[in-house]
Amino acid sequence: MAEELNMDEDARDREMEAEYALEYDAQCPFCQQVLKTLQVVRLLRSRVNFTSTLPRRGRVIICPECKKIISAELAGFA
Ligand SMILES: [Zn+2]
């Protein structure tokens, strides 16, 4: 039971979909940290206009240090 609670907390802590290793170090434009990884957070559509043709999902790439958004994209949206 206690373990289950810990897992929930852990899941909440790790809101990102995944972490990616950078092939070369890069610097965050916001916090100036030299980064070896970037985190990817899933973007789920929560509200939409009935006539919207925007995709249901996307992703946001954030700095693992300051959590600021470096890049965002919508799935299948060229
Ligand atoms: Zn940063």
* pLDDT tens, residue by residue, 2-37: 455 555 555 555 556 789 999 999 999 999 999 999
Residue 2 Cα to ligand 1 midpoint, Å, equals: 34
| Residue 72 neighbours by CB under 8 Å, 6+ apart | 43, 58, 59, 60, 61
Residue 74 Cα to ligand 1 midpoint, Å, equals: 22
pLDDT at position 60? 93
DSSP helix/strand/coil, 54: coil
What tokens appear for 34 in the block?
Answer: 């030299």
Q: Can you give the residue ranges of every domain in the chain?
A: 16-74
Residue 61 Cα to ligand 1 midpoint, Å, equals: 11
Residue 11 Cα to ligand 1 midpoint, Å, equals: 22
The answer to whether the pTM exceeds 0.95 is no
Residue 3 Cα to ligand 1 midpoint, Å, equals: 32
Residue 47 Cα to ligand 1 midpoint, Å, equals: 29
Give the phi and the psi of residue 9 in degrees, each rounded to 5: -60, -40
Phi-psi sector, 32: left (phi>0), alpha (psi -120 to 50), beta:
left
